[in-house]
Amino acid sequence: MKKVLLIIKREYMTRVRKRSFLVMTLLGPMLAALLYGLFIWIAVSEETPSVRIGLCDQSELFIGDEIISQNTHLNISYPQAPKIVDDAKDSLRAGKYDAILFIPRDPINSFSKSFVLFYVDRLPVSTIKYTEELTSRILEDYKLKMNNMSRPEFEMVRTRITLEQTKVFTDPKKEDQRTNDAAFVIAFINGFLVYILILVYGTQVLRGVMEEKQSRIVEVIISSVKPIQLMAGKILGIAAVGLTQFTIWIVFSGICFMVISQIVMGFSDPAQIREQLETMGQFTANEGIADKANLELMAGILGTNLWVVLPVVFFFFVGGYLLYSSLFAAVGALVDTDSDTQQFMLPVTLPLIFSIALAQVALKNPDGNLALFLSIFPLTSPIVFPVKAAFEFEVSHLLISMGVLLLSIVLVAWMAGKIYRTGILMYGKRITWSEVFRWLFYRNG
């Protein structure tokens, strides 16, 4: 055991002291924060180009309307264009307008599809959305006037329902208030995080084993310790590196994001930011609805019981790492030259890539049978269960998944150990898969 600790210490220290570790650990969050800052900066400082949308108004309802003729919001103006469609199109071609908004002769009884926007260069989505909202609003006002109704009365009558989705548990005491949207975001983050972490640190195990084999130090080491101890020490040492880096990232990212936000916000006019943020989400006509949805999403994310989700994600990350890094260690022991790497790596990376691809299934239908299978099958569960964990799950299901994963780790580590200790001593020989299979039955003490 003391020797395993020595190996863990060496694996940990040599990696943590590397310049690349320092750079990655500090630069990672800084880069992410910078990108985030840049994103805000662009959003805030971008000059909205002025857009001229010519009105080809067959109904003549819009031309005189104050809301549309005096609009300056988003730098959009709506000048009058020729009433004949072909003429209007010609003037669009001539570059007099950026787009032509065609309004049918009888807008009130027309299908909404009969409103057409002609363009040469595609307009920004926000401009199209805004124009849609504005057009609807003017028509609404017109209809209200026809029915002798005021806007406040109309707002009172208008009703929009969004369905709140709540799962009912077999255990009546249990309840979950999260909205599906929040769960969706968390699920995606969970799955992706575990996938990236397993891949990054699993590959480090692979490289470490290859380095020992190729530099021929391994035979000296295993004359002092058992191969399985060396393998375990390496896997655990690199896990410690991963946890260190992860912790620093979390803490340091928090600080960086706060600082960057302060800087970006500090240099800009707060009123401008507010206006900019408003135009990103909602529009005059149904003010507040998009905003409310965003707030609910944020509240949902924040309201997620992190004390349940985080330990689950953590368990499956560690479990998945142990499972996959054992396989990576075995693969590293098989590789003699770098050119062999791909051949042996594929069977290990394939289920990993498969997991993240199939995690979509769990995202779309977290309670389906396929999701259930994927969240128990040990090669996919490290990624799929954390995805499912963002939604509601039964404790018994969690326990089964954990149990299967733990058993599989023991089994896979045992098999990987057999391959590893034979493989690391095979120099200058091309190894075939059938040979590898035979090694499982060698007695190596």
Partner 1 sequence: MTPLFKAEQIVKRFGKHIALDNVSIEVPTQRIFGLLGPNGAGKTTLIRIMNRIIAPDSGTCYFNGKVMTDADTDRIGYMPEERGLYKKMSVSEHVLYLAQLKGMTQSDARKSWAEWVEKFNMQAWKNKKVEDLSKGMQQKVQFVCTVIHKPLFLILDEPFSGFDPVNADLVKNEILELKKNGTTIVLSTHSMASVEELCDDIAMIHKGQCVLNGSVQQIRKQFKTGEYEIVFAGNMVTFTTALWAGGKIISQTNLGTDLWKVRLVLNPQANINGLLHELIQKVEIKSLHEYLPGMHEIFVSHVKEGEKSPVSEGYTE
Write out the residues near partner 1 by the rule CB under 8 A.
Answer: 3, 6-7, 10, 14, 18, 211-212, 215-217, 219-226, 425, 427, 438, 442-445
The nearer residue to partner 1, 217 or 370, going by C-beta atoms, is 217
The nearer residue to partner 1, 93 or 438, going by C-beta atoms, is 438
Minimum CB separation of residue 320 from partner 1 in Å reads 28
- The whole-angstrom separation of Cα 154 and Cα 267 is 42
Minimum CB separation of residue 19 from partner 1 in Å reads 11
The nearer residue to partner 1, 170 or 215, going by C-beta atoms, is 215
Minimum CB separation of residue 242 from partner 1 in Å reads 19
Minimum CB separation of residue 74 from partner 1 in Å reads 57
- Cβ–Cβ contacts within 10 Å for residue 324, how many? 27
Minimum CB separation of residue 163 from partner 1 in Å reads 59
- The whole-angstrom separation of Cα 80 and Cα 63 is 7
The nearer residue to partner 1, 27 or 217, going by C-beta atoms, is 217
- The whole-angstrom separation of Cα 179 and Cα 166 is 8
The nearer residue to partner 1, 58 or 422, going by C-beta atoms, is 422
Angle, vertex CA 96, rays to CA 90 and CA 100, nearest 5? 65
Minimum CB separation of residue 177 from partner 1 in Å reads 52
Minimum CB separation of residue 240 from partner 1 in Å reads 17
The nearer residue to partner 1, 60 or 219, going by C-beta atoms, is 219
Minimum CB separation of residue 170 from partner 1 in Å reads 52
The nearer residue to partner 1, 20 or 396, going by C-beta atoms, is 20
The nearer residue to partner 1, 3 or 129, going by C-beta atoms, is 3
Minimum CB separation of residue 249 from partner 1 in Å reads 24
